[in-house]
Structure formats: C-alpha cells, structure tokens
Structure 1
Amino acid sequence: MTWEVFKNAFLDNLFPREKRENKVVEIINLYQGGMSVLQYSLNFIKLSKYTPSLVSDQRDEMNHFVTGVSDNLQEECQSAMLHDNMTFARLMVHSKQVEEARSKRKNRDAKRARFFYGGSSMGRLEIQDKPRFKESASNHVPSKFSKTRDDRVSNLKLKTKMVLVRQRRSLLVPSVERVILVSL
C-alpha cells in the first residue's frame, strides 16, 4: 500500500468528500467584510489546510488572500506582493500593520474633529484663562468712599480672575460665551 492510497482511504473514511467540498466553497467565498485582518487571516489559514490545490505555492496563497481582503487594503497588499522576498506570513503582518495604522489615523482625526467642533451635543466646557482687567484693580475703591477696616481686610484676601467660558451645545447651535469671576 502506497502513501497516496493510504491517505485517500483515510480521508474518505474520516473526512468525507462532501465536507471537503464544502470547505473549498467556504474558502472561495471567504471575504474580510466586517472582520479584522487578524480574524480574516486566521479563518483563511484554517480553511486553506483543506484546499491544498487552491494554495499550492506562496504566490497562489497570497493572491487568494488578497482577493478576500477589504477593498481599502487590496491595493496596499498587491503592491507589497511585488517585492521578491514577500512571503504569505509577511503579507499577513503587513496588512495587519496597515489596518492598525489606518485605524489609529482615523481615531486621531476623529478626536481632532471633536475638539475642533466642540465635542458632543451634550455640551462641553472649554475654559480659557483670559484676564480682562488688572488684578490690582479689584482692590481699588474710589477715593470718595471711605474704607473701613473690614473692607480693607476682605479686599486683601479676595483675589478674583475673569475666566472666559465657552460652551458649544451642538454643531447647529453657535457657541455661548460667558464671563465669570473665579475666586483664587
């Protein structure tokens, strides 16, 4: 009995032809869709074990992997495949890194947009310290009024600062600015 005969008899008994054909159909119809690149590549590796004829060498395996990857990553993966030293494992790592970099950039841009446009519709306070007057002016009392001892003590202890408070409620409602006094 040769190895090929034994292997075919073994597969036919333990892994019927119908199941093998279903696995071939699964790998042909495998697309990334809403999966991450990591999840897609794990599914691809798992299914490619059942279809050695579709992924007979590294180039075939990479080509089939790239056809199932999302559209925004396909071009990047195809250009990476042009390198002579590119392997299937390197291609998977490269596509995962590209996906992570794009995700980070998207999150960073979203944070910038939220900050620039004032955040969510629930409202957000942005406090900017902008003194509108000199602090010594708050202790100044016009000379025609006499100062009592209590007034002098309280004026020495009381130091205030004007703070500009800007509140944006939503993108459609313009921001509301208020000036408040803050005790220091």
Structure 2
Amino acid sequence: MERSFKLVRLGEEQKTVYVAYFLKEEAIYWWDSVKALEEVQPVTWTRFKELFLEKYYPRYMQKQMEMKFLELKQESMTILEYEKKFTELSRFVTKYVNTDEEKAQRFQQGLEYWIRDRVSMFEIGTYAGVVQKAALVESNGAQSRMKRDIKKRKVFHQKERSVSGYQQDRIVKRIGFQK
C-alpha cells in the first residue's frame, strides 16, 4: 500500500481512509469496531499500521517468522529456490538485513558448505553478487558431477566388457573350441 501512496500522492491524513476502502469481509468489521474505540479521530496512518499488525500479524507470528529466517539453510533447495525463500522471509525481519551487505552475508551463511566455501573466496559485498556467484558455482558443480558420472559409467562399462570377454575366453577354452 505504501508504494501506491507514492503513485497517487496521498497526504498523511488520507492514507488511512484510502487503505480502509480496500479492506474486505472480516477486516471491514474489525476496522469499524477499532475506529469506534479509538479516541483520536481521524486515526493516523502510523496508528492504523500498529493496530493492523497487532491484529493480523501478532508478535508470536513475528517471532515464528524470525526463527524461520534465522534457521533458513539451503540444504536440498537449488540456489533459486533458496533465494526465493530467503526473500520471502527477509521481508518480516528487516532488522537482520538492514543493508545490502548484511543481506548478502546472511544469504551466504545459509548456503550449502561446498557452495559457500567457493563463493566466500570472492569476498562479494552485494546481495545480487552473492546470489549470482552461488548460482554459477552450483551450475558448475552440477556440470562437473555430470562429467564425473559419465566417466564413471564409461569406466564401469569398459570393465564390464573386459570381464565378459575374459569369461567368454574361459568358456570357449573349457569346451575345447578355439577362436
């Protein structure tokens, strides 16, 4: 809503009225009852936000979101999935990501060890930079694993062929045939 305030150039007095217009269902009833109880009329935008968050985003939920954010690790997620979850949760805990550098550090701390180890060598100070490097490292790691797997399969098949060739020679000799 605050982004739209800039777009429509609302003054402080009009913000609460504007937002109240967009409330729906139960929120309308909540707002009507709160308005009736508030001593100061009209209710300021700052006070509206306090009341709204108190009702729809209570302290215990804020703490839960904070814990989810602090415990967030990449684990089995891809970099893109991890970044999406990180962005989603960081909205609720801005005190931990006040600056771009803090955001970059927090993101980097949650990366899988092998990715974090490689990304940290670059000493990147921006969030976008860390995300980009992490995605690049992840991509290169996936390509390396694919190449390694292909080599393993080739070696395995070569060994398998040489073993089966050896077994055929033994069978042929045992029966008494010559090649």
Match of residue 89 from structure 1: 128
* Equivalent residues in 2 for 1:122-161, closer than 5 Å: none
User: What are structure 1's unaligned runs of at least 5 residues?
Assistant: 124-166, 169-173, 180-184
Match of residue 79 from structure 1: 121
RMSD: 2.3
Q: CA deviation at 1:2?
A: 5.1
Flag the 1:97–1:20 CA change in 2: closer, same or farther, 3 A. same
Q: Counterparts of 2:83 and 2:68 in 1: how far apart (Å)?
A: 14
Q: Secondary structure in 1 aligned to 2:81?
A: helix
Choose which of 33, 37, 43 in structure 1 pairs with 2:79. Answer: 37
Q: Secondary structure in 2 aligned to 1:50?
A: coil
Q: Which has the higher helix share?
A: 2
1:17 equivalenced with 2:97 (yes/no): no
Match of residue 176 from structure 2: none
Q: Which has the higher strand share?
A: 1
Q: Counterparts of 2:44 and 2:108 in 1: how far apart (Å)?
A: 37
Q: Counterparts of 1:119 and 1:69 in 2: how far apart (Å)?
A: 38
Structure with larger RCO (C-alpha < 8 A, sep 6+): 1
Match of residue 154 from structure 1: none
Match of residue 6 from structure 1: 48
In the alignment, is the contact (CA less than 8 A) between 2:108 and 2:130 conserved in 1?
A: no
Match of residue 146 from structure 2: 107
Match of residue 28 from structure 1: 70
**Deviation sequence 1:69-122 (CA, Å, 0-9, x none):** 110011222233x24xx42122212211110111011101110121123179xx
Match of residue 176 from structure 1: 165
Match of residue 51 from structure 1: 93
User: What are structure 2's unaligned runs of at least 5 residues?
Assistant: 1-42, 170-179
TM-score of the aligned structures, taking structure 2 as reference length: 0.62
Q: CA deviation at 1:59?
A: 1.1
Greater C-alpha Rg: 1
Identity of aligned residues (%): 20
Q: Counterparts of 1:89 and 1:35 in 2: how far apart (Å)?
A: 18
Q: Counterparts of 1:16 and 1:5 in 2: how far apart (Å)?
A: 15
